[in-house]
Structure 1
């Protein structure tokens, strides 16, 4: 399974590095390799969260995620999307944006392409930060089958019984970010944050609507599967909107990486190639986690990944005014997931010998329904 899942990312890596060496020499080879490693190390939490969504999709849509989704992630989010952002925020025509991107020494109003992208950071950070914050809030406020940090999660679940509380909290966070971090860009930050919130509500809501409809149609089959680990896997419109949800999630994770990559190289093709290699591995890791049932075996991994998302959301909002090193973002994510993995391993070792722990970890009646 490992080679079947990661075989083509390995092949793509070899081909990409050989191509980088031939076109740009040893320096280009090294830059692409560094960017790929950075993308993989900073996005592991992305793979875990993706896996929690992907396991709800049928095999056909899982393949779409790993094929069409990769093309969108590599060329759409890491090449075309930054061009679009620069054009919209700086009000530059497509031809000029492309010229700036292809020639790192060219400027428009005194700024290079990388500097224009950096100037667009408040809007990017507000959109991505609020989108990720909603994912985190909806997770910690909902009733869960298992609790990792019970002293945090149980009180938050009680708060989560209030209707639309996650949306209210996200809007409060957005207003505070605009007030204390945005300065004269407050209007831009508010608009981008509201768009991030609207995108989350629209995509997540439509996916949930179609998924609920499908589950109602297959209620009998779902009852038969409750004793096992599997879920009713969705298809059609529900899977399509889950796919869109995953693509926006990937974009939210990749924003800071794309901007930060210009500290390593100002060549957009080197950046796209390096980040694209990393994206291939993250996508393949997501599929591997789903096929191995890793999230079912290590039940706190999902918690750790969502706490990492909450931390990243906060970092993005703070980065509206303050530069946060990418290494900090990556280490926080690794720390949460590492702690969750260790906790899951310890739980699996203790549970067979500890009836009280087993009972405490069983899904509640409310959660099951």
Structure 2
């Protein structure tokens, strides 16, 4: 049985003043709320922009974009252009352990809510600023995920070889930046335990993306040559890409020679076993087109699900190209419990993606549904 502390969450007693909106900041603060932090989401009178991003809507009629990143919070409506509301916001920041904001650089200072102002009255506060391009030369640039995917190089390596550059199908840079914000905040909390003093945490979309480019970034820095688009192929591994079976696509992700030998054993047929062009990964990468043609010819003879079953049994990484609904079903079939349902038995329930971090003793504690606008009450009774 869980103790009261474990039931409350590992971040129980930590208050977050959340001045962020749209995705990166709200995603970060939702992760904190999932582990027990008291997150007070400060919204303008019209609410977070994503409340109006419909369709689709959830069972309560709320924007699924908003509900997907705002569970477990309380909503406090403040018009920061009004002196009374700005004063309430400053009071909230004074009493918070963590302040999170993703306004353009300089906006928080106009209301006395910037890092220096907050630190002057609350030296233990951890102040997290999320920007598109930092507070220097890129301060005036709008921090939209699509823009960062373009100027940050991600689109240049995404899409068909002979097609146009493509964005990823979700605002991935925002999500990555939100995760970096959570990491920075938790690091600052840990340091505060030793010093008793807060500090500023700064993350931005641009460098979050560059860091996440991983091998593509390191190869560019080492060689001075920017990688090109390879469609669904990999620059350093083969076969590691999309193939067509007789009915639908599947992915084969061979990462070493043992897996390739097992792949050959499953596929059979002439032209693969013993061919010196494919004896090592380096040779397979060099001869990827010939290899791809031989594999594709065999895969077209059976349904994708048959191949996946055979390849998986032989310990060759392979899988169907699922849509999002199929992906949830696949995860559920593995016992991963990827969905959390909030409000069941108390009106309209909302199904949301579960927190992916699993702690054995202090797991995520899912509280209330994504908040209605102003659910925390007025500026004077939000406590």
Pairwise TM-score range, normalised by the shorter structure = under 0.3
Q: Which has the larger radius of gyration?
A: 2
Higher helix share: 1
Task: Report which structure shows greater RCO (CA 8 Å, sep ≥6).
Answer: 1
Could you tell me the TM-score, scaled by structure 1's length? 0.25
Could you tell me the TM-score, scaled by structure 2's length? 0.24
